[in-house]
Amino acid sequence: MSDIHKEAVLRLEGISKNLGGRLILNSVSLSINKGELKVIIGPSGAGKSTLLQCVNCLIMPDSGNIYLEGARLDQAGKGALRVFRQQVGMIFQDFNLFDHLSAIDNVAIALQKVRGMSKSDSRRRALVELERVGLESRAALYPAELSGGQKQRVAFARALAMDPNVILLDEPTSALDPELVGEVLSVIRDLARGGMTMLMATHQMDFARALANEILFMEKGQIIESGEPEKLLEPGAGTRTYDFCSRLAMEVKGREEKAG
């Protein structure tokens, strides 16, 4: 992570969003440099998922600007949005795979539809990306035949096949059984070490502490605190982030003791 080139890949400026008459995002601004992994944490309802969906314009912001590689996105332009989404990959909580397609075809389909690649070329590239996430032996299987962790790794392969400049990750392990979380975090760890630029909402605090360049703490639609993990999470730091993570750890411990 020490070799990061300080060069803004993605920048948000004053992103706001109302949903159902409630202000979900209140003028959120942030930037991510090339090769950085930034982690968004905060309580449920803080606006984390809405922010990520606004970044990719799956939910259109009410106001604010989005810049990719220094160029402002024309949020009203369908062509501009299509190109932008090719460059900004998205990993969802619930995988969003096509049930009627095998793993390899789930990865290949966007290459055919968006990039205009031939079926044979797209399947070759898809196999490369499935191998990258350790699933080449599962290429012919359908989502119903895969575990949750394997489905999420297919989703990673699909995003990586588009050669994105940045990947957005919306709680990528929240839908997984605890024993499957590690295999997905391992993929993210490898991508981070390989210099992929990522913005990730998560409650996996040990992972964030070890790998994040910066933690962004969200509450009530705003980033109220940000900084390096070792500073925000230092015992006795008195930060909102430390208080939240301590309470989260206690809740996890309580659940484990009950289960035991």
Q: Nearest-CA neighbor of 22 among 47, 54, 42?
A: 47
At 210, list the tokens. Answer: 């070890």
CA atoms within 13 A on the CB side of 5: 7
Segments forming the whole domain that contains residue 21: 8-259
Domain membership flag for residue 2: no
Q: State residue 6's pLDDT score.
A: 59
Residue with the two structure tokens 């730091």? 237
pLDDT of residue 252: 63
Task: Establish if 22 belongs to a structural domain.
Answer: yes
The mean pLDDT of 21-47, rounded to a whole number, is 95
Q: What is the pLDDT of residues 51-102, one digit of tens each?
A: 999 999 999 999 999 999 999 999 999 999 999 999 999 999 999 999 999 9
The CATH number given to whatever domain includes residue 89 is 3.40.50.300
Contacts (Cβ under 8 Å, ≥6 apart) of 23 = 16, 17, 221
For the segment 116-142, what is each residue's pLDDT rounded down to a tens digit?
A: 999 999 999 999 999 999 999 999 999
Average pLDDT over residues 176-185: 91
pTM flag (> 0.85): yes
* 215 domain-assigned: yes
Residue 52 lies in a domain: yes
At 119, the amino acid letter reads K
Of 100, 66, 102, which Cα lies nearest the Cα of 84?
A: 66
In a domain, 33, yes or no: yes
Residue 3 has pLDDT above 90, yes or no: no
In a domain, 35, yes or no: yes
Report the pLDDT value the prediction gives residue 4, as an integer from 0 to 100: 45
Give CA–CA dist 135/157, Å, rounded: 9
Looking at residue 247, what is its pLDDT?
83
pLDDT in tens, 213-228: 999 999 999 999 999 9
Is 227 part of any domain?
Answer: yes
What pLDDT does residue 248 have?
Answer: 78
Is the CB of residue 14 less than 8 Å from the CB of residue 28?
Answer: yes
How many domains is the chain partitioned into structurally? 1
Short-list 191, 188, 225, 237, CA closest to 208? 188
Tell me whether residue 188 is in a domain: yes
